[in-house]
Amino acid sequence: MIAASSDTTDNLKQLAALVVSAARDKGISLGTAESCTGGLVAAMITAVPGASEVFEGAIVSYSNSVKVQCLSVSDSTLIEYGAVSEQTAREMACGARKALAVDIAVSVTGVAGPGGSSDEKPLGTVWLCVAEERMTSTKLEHFDGDRESVRHCAVRSALNMLLERLG
């Protein structure tokens, strides 16, 4: 488990600034597909002056119907694996790449709490995915803490995944 003690808004903005700078240096456009983070990844990126040079947009897909309609997540994926799954995270990121016409998209889907957890998917379970034209990379995280802590940890993880891909 990872705690969010160091995930202040200022720290996340600094990390987002590194993402924006790396994307600008490489001429790469970015987008996000967010569920449990509710747009916080996009908020951190757009808090960076000049982010509009690389950031195209975000799709906050809090409901399954938005995941299906806007991100092309299949109904069968949601039925078989659930909204909090590797498969859904991958389809969300790939769907965002297409819908936003970006080079790289990151997705986040998870259980931030306080409700919605199960034995199989306890509080703090978060799936992330970074999608590029020829590659996707997924990651499963388990974060400790309350709703805010889980969301901030998920934002940090998403920004780190983007930075790794841009590195």
Both tokens assigned to 43: 């908020």
Q: Kindly list the distances between the CA atom of residue 150 and the CA atoms of 46, 56, 110, in Å, as whole numbers in the listed order.
A: 21, 25, 9
Q: Which two tokens stand for residue 23?
A: 């994307």
Distance CA 52, CA 37 (A): 21
User: Does any domain span residue 28?
Assistant: yes
What is the average pLDDT across 86-104?
Answer: 98
Residues 116-123 have a mean pLDDT of 93
CATH number, domain with residue 135? 3.90.950.20
Beta strand ranges found along the chain (DSSP E):
30-34, 55-60, 104-110, 125-131, 136-142
Within a domain: 1: no
Inside any domain, residue 3: no
Q: Which domain holds residue 145?
A: 9-166
Question: In whole numbers, what is the pLDDT of the chain averaged over residues?
Answer: 95
- Of 108, 123, 111, 94, the residue nearest 157 (C-alpha): 108
Cα–Cα separations (whole angstroms), residue 164 to 53, 72, 91: 20, 26, 20
CB neighbours (10 Å) of residue 120? Answer: 8
Assigned domain for 115 exists: yes
Q: Residue 8: which pLDDT band, with cuts at 50, 70 and 90?
A: confident
pLDDT of 1 strictly over 60 = no
Q: Quote the percentage of the chain above a pLDDT of 70.
A: 96
Q: Is 72 among the domain residues?
A: yes
Q: How many domains does the chain have?
A: 1
Q: Does residue 141 lie in a domain region?
A: yes
- pLDDT bin (cut points 50, 70, 90) of residue 6 is low
Q: How far apart are CA 143 and CA 64, in angstroms?
A: 23
96 domain residue, yes or no: yes
CB 55 within 8 A of CB 46: yes
63 found inside a domain? yes
**Per-residue tokens: 70:** 């806007």
